Chains A and B, each alone.
Chain A
Amino acid sequence: MPLTPFTLQKIISDLALEEAQQQSSTPSQTTTSASSPISLFHRRTNANSGGAGSGTRFGSGIGWGARDRVTVETVEAWENNIYVGTSDGHLIHYVLEDQTSSENPIPKSYLIDKQKLGFGRKLVEHSTLSFYALPEMTPLPVSAFPHIKGVTCFTHDLAKEGQTETDGSVKLCVLKKRTVHEFSLLENLVECSQSIPLPHGGIVCCQYGSSLCIADSTHNYRLIDLDCKRMIDLMSPQERSSIYGSGTFKPIVTVIEKGEFLLNTTIGQFMSSAGEPVRGVLQWTSFPRAIGVEYPYVVALLRNNTIEIHNVIDQNLVQTVQLAPAEARTISQGPGIKVWVSALLERLRWENGFSYKDDDNEDSHDFEGENERALSSRKSDDASKEDSKNLPSTPEISQLDFLATVPTRIIIAARDSILALAPSPLILQVDSLLDANRIEEGLAYADEAVSRLTDNVHRKRMQHELNYIYQKSGFILIGETLFDIARDSLDRGHTDPRVVIGLFPDLKRLVDKDCSLHVYAGVKVILDRLGSIDDVVFKSLIKNYEPHIKPNVQSSPATQGLRKQLLAHANEMLQKYLTKDRENRKSSKGPLSELDRNILKAVDNALVQLYTTSDSKEPLISLLKDENECSLEDCEHILSNYGKYYALSLLYQSKKQYAKTLKIWQQMMNNEKPDPDFKDGLKQMADLLTQTDDSDLVWEYASWIISKDQILGAQICIRPNLRKPLIVEPNKVIEALGSVGYEGLTMYLEHLVLQRKSEEESHHTKLLLLYIGEILRELEKDEDKSKLIKLTKEFQYISKNSSMTYISFLSNRPSDDGISHARLKAIMFMQQQSTRYEGKAILEKLLESKQDLYPELAIIYGKLNEHEKSLHILVDQLKDYRGAEAFCLYAGRMIGINRKTSELLSPAKLKRQTADNQRILEDKRLIGLRKALFLKLLKVYLGMKNGDDSVDQIVDLLNKQASYFDIVEVLRLLPEVWSIEMLSEFLIRSLRQSYHDYRESQILKGLLRGENMMVNSELYKAYDEVGPIVITSNLPCASCNKIITDSMVLRQPNKDIIHLHHKNNESGSSNRADVPVEAE
């Protein structure tokens, strides 16, 4: 079936042409607003009284029809205004009302506004172009808009249809006998912007961009480039008479699309703006009187009163419309008026999507008697439909308005009526195919239309039409149980998923009835016919198998099975459809609208039910895991009924009902509600709990998890974001963790102490005790009970040849040495990370362990200020001489820290002590402490039994740390027997040091003295300049006006003499501005 792209609609009938002459100057009642002041409009000249070939744009009817009878000669439309030019020189102005009802296919209601314009008289003067304001055709003042005389034809730039130039003007191209003029039409004047000589003139013209296509009366077509002012010949005259018979011909030039003209001779030749013939040719059965273009169609009004419509793309004739004899005069192409197509309304009207099959909610869907019930329910349905035909609300009315009106650009002037050639809606043509069950053909047309869909005035409505077609096809296909193809159609028709869900009796309750749901009326008819999906399946079985299956379709096991299968297919279709719709809706950018939310809610709920019943685990889980619109009430029930506890818990989680989620998880872990999908339960609980801020809830489950997995338990209680407070009271956690082991506790305490910098001593102590416990455990683990001793030996061996301390020795141990690492951790903590632990408790623990943890002990003793003990341990037990030195250097706090770390640490420390003074004090205190400690160390060395070793160490110590030793004291301590050579280096250094100090102080003294001299000299100079101040016995004080009696005076810079005590008062009480009053 070929589609007819256009429908002829009468928009004005029975034009009162004759009356126009009598009813002159009726006051205008037009109500349409003139939105644009631009009076760009085509002149309608009327050449009735002998225009003598002065080309008029619409003058193709000249000399036609009865001369004694007034006829329509031309028509133009602007918005919903229609202007009709008559053969007696009148212009009739009609305003089309927007239609809101469509009882009659020919709209009746108009505001008719007839005006007798002084048209005839003005335009009888040949070929004059005058300007009028739309919509009422008010003549514009001739002073600003002078008439343009000698005009043969004119055009505006069709590329700028509906637009203006950047300066707000509209360009008008006017042809005169020998010239082309470009006029700029501004709001308040018209001016000629350019003139080009044109040798041959022209009687028709058409402009697109800079290309102007013209033709003269002898059908010489020429193309002019207005920018570079060049012209080429396109086509030359030919002998026309032999083709279509004699008669006057008028050349026609139209624009097809950008840069393409259609020139009309005996054939229609498409011509590019470069002057190349393109595309092909059009052929008409008769010579066209007028041509209109509604891309991709060319509408030609022929002289034999037919309209032939060609498709531009393949140049085939697609439609022919026969008009009454001698009726049509001309075609006009306007920016588009709205024409009401009632058939559209019948189909695209929105109806409430809920009313169908509402009453069989309670139906049990057993097989018996389904048929009768389906029939009866449909009857009651019809009744309910009548009831539900409520008055449409306001947005629906505007929707109707929009959908049922077709913008029409092509208007045909008939003898006494105006016709519109409206693009006939695809829907009307395809709908009949669908009704005849020729779905595939219908869909093919729709597909083709989709591919043709261009951005124009029709697009939005077309989209509705296409939606309608696809939706209707989809539902019809569902009726034929062709679910897969149906799904595709529904998808392409953007079918509201709620409508599809509504087909499924066990799901329809999920559609929220409070939110509006619209269905095209034509689609609703199908929906009502379908009933529910059960009806569909049942009917299909009856249709296919009824007479053949024994005993009958209802009870045969074969059809029972088939029925089940079909229903499963239907469910699968729904599932796929909803999944896809959901994806689309979710992926669209921007926030969800209320409607989207409502739809998603229905979709998500339905999907949960579908996934659950079809046991599709993964999609179910992933749906619930992400953000979803499921409603608790609807999904809770089904999920727990089907034992999908994990899914249920995720549902709760997505709804932020964490208590319920956790409860279920706990139950699942305790095997009270087993669900095999639930894996890594504790981990999931922990993940959830770490994100929760409800401290009671966290503690409830954290304490439970701690009993299962202390590490996870600890992790829950740890909040990595240090700016946020801990959610559970630490001591509670410590207690719980402490009761189950040490790993979790260690982790938790480390978090408290190291990251959160806890100031509680107990935390530090506990952590350190845990570290020590770890060392002890490691020691116990090791079979070699003398491991520590071996380590010490090894260290002593290595340290002989290197300046290694015991700690750096430990830190260089291979990573599989658990003991050393545990020890290093404890030592680092004791030395660097914490100062708050209780030394005594630790000391007890260490002594209790009966292990030779010497460095640890040394640190603790240092902490307890028992430095001698520390040094003894370091020197006697460990022989860690470097460590001992470091211990002294760092005033008992650190033994053997690497130089690098100490360097790194010290500036940080310095920074903290911002005040310089304090730092100096600290330094002094440190130096004092160092001196004392080095002395102690020296004494320890001297007390050592191993002579050789100690001598070396003493000499080494003295040599290295000479500056900390008081030479007198050292000499007193050293054994008398020691030779001077041994100590020479130390002695020389010490002497040099003291001599250096002495010299330095001398220099300093000298410098200070010099400085003093300079100040004195300044002072003398000042005195000299000021001269003596004489105080007489009756000199009053400038401040208190009392006589100055004693010598305690002050002279201000302004030379006022005041009592000295005023100055003191002043500086004490007044502001700083007064302070610089100082005696010179």
Chain B
Amino acid sequence: MSNSNRQHPQAPGKLYQFKLVLLGEAAVGKSSLVLRFVKDQFDDYRESTIGAAFLTQTIHLDDNTTVKFEIWDTAGQERYKSLAPMYYRNANCAVVVYDITQASSLEKAKSWVKELQRQADPNIVIALAGNKTDLSSRRAIEREDAQAYAHDAGLLFFETSAKTAANVNELFTSIARKMPLDQLAPNSRLRGSLLNNKGVDLTNPPQNNNYCAC
């Protein structure tokens, strides 16, 4: 894998690579959003994701700027929740998805946002996406409520439909635009480097471990 360099000197413009993670409750349409974005396809019946899926898509912001998203589409089922930190740990941006027809899914989304804000990269750009606008007849969450929440939490907000493709590209493009392209801290994504300043120092383990030190 050669994605260690975010900016390629070749080509007229610059190529930025971002790691993007999709989070959200099961069956809100994360994989469908990605499939629409990456392949412009839609399946009415999709099997639920196992573990996570990995896709990439490149968009051109303008003549000089190309953004490549490395997208980790996580599984929404509860049993995979433990895998999520691995994917968002060094993500540059995240899309938290809820289903506008499922009131509980926004609650779940809010908890994801909280977790991201607590544990992910402090500079992470988070977008909240209310999916399935094609089913607006069954809407359970008002757009305004979600938008207000997004505004308070400092999130990008879109209502999307993977089925009709509404707002899908807009969602990803505005994330790309929101990315601080110029002042990306070089250590925002540690690639290829070893665990120099991360993780637990084994020679001097913290004292408050919850296992017995025998």
Residues of chain A having any CB pair with chain B under 8 Å: 178, 196-200, 210-211, 223-225, 227-239, 242-243, 259-260, 265-267, 269, 272-281, 283, 315
Contacts and interface: CB of A to CB of B under 8 A. Distances in A.
Contacts of B80: 238, 266
B194 interface: yes
A225 B200 CA distance: 10
Contacts of B144: none
Given A196-B203, A199-B200, A315-B54, 9 more contacts: A200-B211, A229-B201, A231-B199, A232-B198, A235-B86, A260-B1, A266-B80, A279-B1, A279-B54
A843 to B, nearest CB: 85
Contacts, number: 116
Contact of B195 (A232, A243, A315): A232
Interface of B is mostly: loop
Nearest to A265: B51
B31 to A, nearest CB: 13
A428 B198 CA distance: 50
Interface in B172-214: 189-196, 198-203, 205, 209, 211, 214
Query: What 7 pairs between A and B have smallest CB-CB spacing?
Result: A267-B51, A232-B199, A280-B54, A236-B82, A239-B79, A230-B195, A230-B199
Contact of B79 (A238, A281, A283): A238
A277 B209 CA distance: 26
Nearest to A279: B1
29 contacts: A196-B202, A197-B205, A199-B202, A200-B211, A223-B195, A224-B202, A225-B194, A228-B194, A228-B196, A229-B202, A229-B203, A230-B199, A232-B198, A233-B199, A235-B86, A236-B83, A238-B83, A243-B50, A269-B83, A273-B194, A274-B195, A276-B90, A277-B52, A279-B1, A279-B54, A280-B53, A280-B54, A281-B51, A281-B53
A269 B211 contact: no
B85 interface: yes
B86 A230 contact: no
Interface in B74-96: 79-83, 85-87, 89-90
B192 A274 contact: yes
Contacts of A274: 190-195
B112 interface: no
B211 A230 contact: no
Interface residues of B, number: 36
Nearest to A267: B51
B59 to A, nearest CB: 20
Interface in B1-28: 1, 3
Given A230-B195, A277-B72, A237 B1 contact: no
Nearest to A236: B82
A211 B195 CA distance: 9
Nearest to B3: A278
Contacts of A279: 1, 54
Interface of B: 1, 3, 50-54, 72, 79-83, 85-87, 89-90, 189-196, 198-203, 205, 209, 211, 214
Nearest to A242: B79
A199 B209 contact: yes
Which of B86, B196, B203: most chain A CB closer than 10 A?
Answer: B86
Contacts of B51: 265-267, 269, 281, 283
A141 B182 CA distance: 64
B195 A275 contact: yes
A470 B210 CA distance: 65
Given A238-B80, A239-B79, A227 B194 contact: yes
Nearest to A268: B51
Contacts of A237: 82
Contact of A272 (B1, B72, B203, B211): B1
Contacts of A230: 195-196, 198-202
A275 to B, nearest CB: 7
Nearest to A197: B202
A276 B190 contact: yes
Which of A231, A242, A315: most chain B CB closer than 10 A?
Answer: A231
B120 to A, nearest CB: 14
Contacts of B72: 277
A308 to B, nearest CB: 14
Contact of A266 (B50, B53, B198, B205): B50
Contact of A243 (B79, B199, B203): B79
A214 to B, nearest CB: 12
Contacts of A211: 194
A281 B198 contact: no
Contact of B202 (A231, A236, A259, A265): A231
B86 A234 contact: yes
A232 B52 contact: no
A242 B78 CA distance: 11
A198 B211 CA distance: 12
A276 B194 CA distance: 10
Nearest to A180: B202
Contacts of A210: 194
A281 B50 CA distance: 9
Which of B89, B200, B202, B211: most chain A CB closer than 10 A?
Answer: B202
A237 B85 CA distance: 12
Contacts of B85: 233, 236
Contacts of A197: 202-203, 205
